[in-house]
Chain A
């Protein structure tokens, strides 16, 4: 099994034009085998681009195709409205990879979803998306580096470190159930805990790799959840041990504020919760291969 997406997931890509990121990535996802059933563009309703039927709105696309997931890569000024449009159209799973959305917009959208659309899940923004190898890929992860068949679930705040983890496991013949990039922004729609809980409940996932980074307290909260509620082994890596305080390290959310949000406090909390904490991505891959071998 997988979490959040599977072979029955059907995707509407928001903001499709012949030159848009949405089309580029949507076609890549379709080529991987994802059921990309529609695109939207308010000015191109009724057209077809690269075999993708285009509707003016998400609501029309959902009515016509039954799409149950949406993929958003529109630029920051339109991203918040695109998320709300998808939620209002009843889409239960929204993936937004857009980088650079103002934090105020993210905070407002998150709380509107929480209140008005409690059953809608937003993944991202500023994330690579989600891949369940062999079943569904929504986002920008390269399908080539993932391996189907489980037993590892991956959840990560960073894109390239996620690819690195996928690659290291795949090369050792260790497959993945689902790999979720929750994104590097201050207000992610889906949290570590959401993913950890789903992995804990997924019978095919037998171990979880969690990749965090400096900033905020999501890793500490995850550690508390793992200690209290997880039976499956977790291997973790946290980036940013040597990051200077007060600087945003590439991701809007990767910032040490005063003495808060350091890698060290996160690693200490995770270790105390029984998590295997690796010192670098390679070590994390090796540790996970070990864990999987011991599972038999």
Chain B
């Protein structure tokens, strides 16, 4: 789960990472109230989970209440790369002497944590990595050892952070690492991390991605989940406990297993069509799950055909076939369905299906055949 900037800053605060004084506003009046509270000048920042806010006019400096009104009014409702701004973060504007960059993430190849620190912050770190890779001090951190203050001090020196920033930055890095580990982040990034003319170091932005697998041990994440702006289809699927991702095509997909579901999208694409969704119903594939999956897919107006791709392992195909038929008895489906059921007990499964097949419910023996048929139903290439 990606956090909004303001949530990331609230999360940082739990671990003692300093940020600017600020508050959330959903209306122009609220924005003015926050600005009056934190003191002028302020920065009015669009809260969207996408980069490039500044260039899109989503971040503005305001010197008084009138300017806050103007900027808040123009930013609220702004569409930034398809993300409409519903919420603002208004914070006291900081004077900036220097901008740095700091982040922690998992290095999957090394199977260790990767810390990145740079004296060149405020720009895309990917650009720095290309234009001036030496400007990024990387630290590969063994999770068993973690990061202590001594290592952090050595690190800020190696990254050439300005002398007055070093001690505070080192302490902040230790806190940020703790936030990343104990806070179960996939990514904890500060860009920019600033040094003010008064010699204070703090986070001017926050980019945090939480590890969904750790949700069970973070009840406090519920408030973040509540603000997740989701595709309506995804919200409906989540309510039914389904592992669903909305896409732009017209072939609805139901498959068991993440790999098979991904593969199904690819095969539909190879046959000239496009999938309307990713949906992994897991190993069970019983009537309840199948019915829920069909309901969610059926509610997507873009869907013109449904491709059910099941490989029976422990769950035998005859059981899956019974589940499909029972589910179809419960849900009225508006698109034709193509079934491909293979694996353990496939012949018995096909026999069960045989008497139910029609021009709206067809079975195909292989993934490719089934994908071609579904794409043809959806009006794509056949």
Contacts and interface: CB of A to CB of B under 8 A. Distances in A.
Given A242-B269, A249-B262, A186 B257 contact: no
Interface string B246-278: 010000000111111111011111100011001
A104 B181 contact: yes
A76 B216 contact: yes
A248 B113 CA distance: 20
Given A251-B258, A251-B259, A280-B368, A163 B311 contact: yes
Contact of B108 (A140, A164, A248, A253): A253
B243 interface: yes
Interface string B157-190: 0000000000000000000000001001010000
A289 interface: no
Contact of B342 (A114, A167, A213): A167
Contacts of B109: 216-218, 221
A115 B144 contact: yes
A75 B70 CA distance: 52
B344 interface: yes
Given A187-B106, A241-B266, A281-B367, A104 B313 contact: no
A240 B266 contact: yes
Contacts of A186: 106, 108
Contacts of B278: 243, 247, 249-250
A100 B262 contact: no
B57 interface: no
A109 to B, nearest CB: 9
Interface stretch (B39-47, B76-84, B148-156, B206-214): B206-214
Kindly name the residue among B313, B342, B368 whose own CB sees the greatest number of chain A CB atoms within 10 A: B313
B256 A160 contact: yes
Contacts of B268: 242
Interface residues of A, number: 62
Given A110-B111, A253-B108, A281-B367, A104 B143 contact: yes
Nearest to B180: A104
Interface string A147-170: 000000000111111111001000
Kindly name the residue among B181, B263, B311, B312 whose own CB sees the greatest number of chain A CB atoms within 10 A: B263
Contacts of B280: 250
B108 A213 contact: no
Nearest to A255: B186
Contacts of A111: 111-112, 142-144
Contacts of A51: none
Nearest to A107: B143
A8 interface: no
B115 to A, nearest CB: 13
B108 A145 contact: no
Nearest to B371: A280
Kindly name the residue among A110, A213, A249 whose own CB sees the greatest number of chain B CB atoms within 10 A: A249
B217 A77 contact: yes
Kindly name the residue among B258, B261, B342, B368 whose own CB sees the greatest number of chain A CB atoms within 10 A: B258
A213 to B, nearest CB: 6
B126 interface: yes
Kindly name the residue among B109, B142, B143 whose own CB sees the greatest number of chain A CB atoms within 10 A: B143
Given A140-B283, A186-B108, A249 B245 contact: yes
Nearest to A211: B259
A118 interface: no
Contacts of A100: 213, 216
Contacts of B366: 282
B222 interface: no
A102 B311 CA distance: 28
B239 interface: no
B217 A213 contact: no
Interface in A111-132: 111-112, 114-115
Given A145-B343, A216-B108, A242 B266 contact: yes
Given A221-B109, A247-B245, A145 B261 contact: no
A142 interface: yes
Contacts of B267: 280
Contacts of B313: 140-142, 145, 159-160, 163
B314 interface: yes
A102 B183 CA distance: 11
A107 B106 contact: yes
Nearest to A108: B143
A254 interface: yes
A248 B314 contact: no
A239 interface: yes
A270 interface: no
A141 B186 CA distance: 30
A167 B257 contact: no
A279 interface: yes
A271 to B, nearest CB: 17
A296 interface: no
Given A159-B257, A160-B313, A280-B368, A254 B262 contact: yes
Contact of B367 (A141, A145, A187, A282): A282
Contact of B266 (A162, A184, A252, A280): A280
A160 B245 contact: no
Given A140-B314, A145-B344, A102 B262 contact: no
Contact of A102 (B144, B211, B245): B211
B11 to A, nearest CB: 15
Interface string B49-67: 0000000000000000000
A145 B312 CA distance: 10
Given A164-B343, A247-B245, 8 more contacts: A108-B143, A141-B313, A161-B263, A167-B311, A184-B259, A213-B259, A243-B262, A253-B108
Interface of B: 106, 108-109, 111-113, 126, 142-144, 181, 184, 186, 211-214, 216-217, 243, 245, 247, 255-263, 265-270, 274-275, 278, 280, 283, 311-314, 342-344, 366-368
10 contacts: A102-B214, A103-B214, A104-B143, A115-B144, A141-B313, A163-B313, A186-B106, A250-B262, A250-B280, A280-B263
Closest 7 CB pairs of A and B: A158-B259, A250-B258, A160-B257, A102-B214, A160-B260, A161-B259, A142-B313
